[in-house]
Amino acid sequence: MAHQGAGRFAPSPSGQLHIGNLRTAVLAWLFARSTGRDFLVRIEDLDRVRAGAEADQLAELAALGIRSDAPVIRQSEQGHRYAQALDDLLHRGLVYECFCTRRDVAEAASAPHVWPGFYPGTCRHLSETERVLLRVQQRPALRLKSGVESWSVEDLLAGHVSAPVDDFVLRRNDGVIAYNLAVVVDDAAQGIDQVVRGDDLLDSAPRQAYLASLLGLPVPVYAHVPLAVTQEGRRLAKRDGAVTLEDLARLGWAVPAVLDVVLGSLGLPGGSLEAALAVFDPGRMPRDPWVVDPSALFPPPPAPACKPSVPTDKVSS
């Protein structure tokens, strides 16, 4: 099958990847390979960064057999692309300054008749005089001046998805480019036309697709996959026990055995990614969250049996 476009996995280098992250990476790889696409890895390091985490994550992916088909890029090196996109929107009058604090945003979003988490455009109609006075007090964030109330996308797993599109942030007030702008620009620049990621990001897909349409960029094919969760239904995190390859190695679990557990959770045969790819069918993958109980999934190996010693002073001659 000829290659067309690319899929990707884009972790934030905030620490080691846990098995839920690795499961999503495996799925992204399987989706890309099963459709003849390249597979790319991107490091989303605009925000949370822990020293050494990037190298750890790339090593963890490689241990599973997942490698990028092109050099790994980092968002921290793509500032010129984000600035160009932001300038385009600014020149078209599609951006405005926002001086709201987090508390202001939370209170506005909780007002009656406002979508949960929806920014109602509090700063959209400030006069130039008001903006000048507010700039003296604080640096503004930049928000998109949305021209729609909602937008729709087609998801390979979730089907038709519509969600509200508010005046979301493009650049934070600390000068950092916001995720929604960065990811749209990055995907287009890398030729990524298939986005496989956790379904906690499903509601952000319409926003990103709308922004891509404004920038004249292609909208990728989306597939939002179920997350790994705790028995209480919380999204799995490293604090939930032995859930990283490093932790599991200390319990005696080799990487191939961990991969087999991850593939088994998807109803796929173990042994290798290639063996799983041979039978992978997105239409048959589980649609419910993967409930993870680390102590049950990864019990410590049994201690080696040993013969009881006999005290020498009780041995008869």
Closest CA to 64 of 260, 294, 291, 293: 260
Residue 145 labelled as part of a binding site: no
Residue 96 labelled as part of a binding site: no
Rounded CA separation 284/36 (Å):
19
Q: Count structural domains, the chain.
A: 2
The pLDDT tens digits for 165-216 are: 999 999 999 999 999 999 999 999 999 999 999 999 999 999 999 999 999 9
Residue 9 labelled as part of a binding site: yes
Q: What is the CATH number of the domain that holds 165?
A: 3.90.800.10
User: Across the chain, which distance is largest between two alpha carbons, in Å?
Assistant: 105
Handedness of CA 210, 212, 214, 216 (dihedral sign): negative
Residue 100 labelled as part of a binding site: yes
The pLDDT tens digits for 108-149 are: 766 655 666 788 899 999 999 999 999 999 999 999 999 999
Mean pLDDT of 228-235: 92
* Same domain assignment for residues 233 and 290: yes
Residue 301 labelled as part of a binding site: no
Residue 168 labelled as part of a binding site: no
Residue 249 domain boundaries: 6-75+226-297
**Residue 160 included in any domain:** yes
Residue 314 labelled as part of a binding site: no
**Residue 189 included in any domain:** no
Residue 166 has φ and ψ, to the nearest 5°, of -95, -170
**Residue 215 included in any domain:** no
Residue 306 labelled as part of a binding site: no
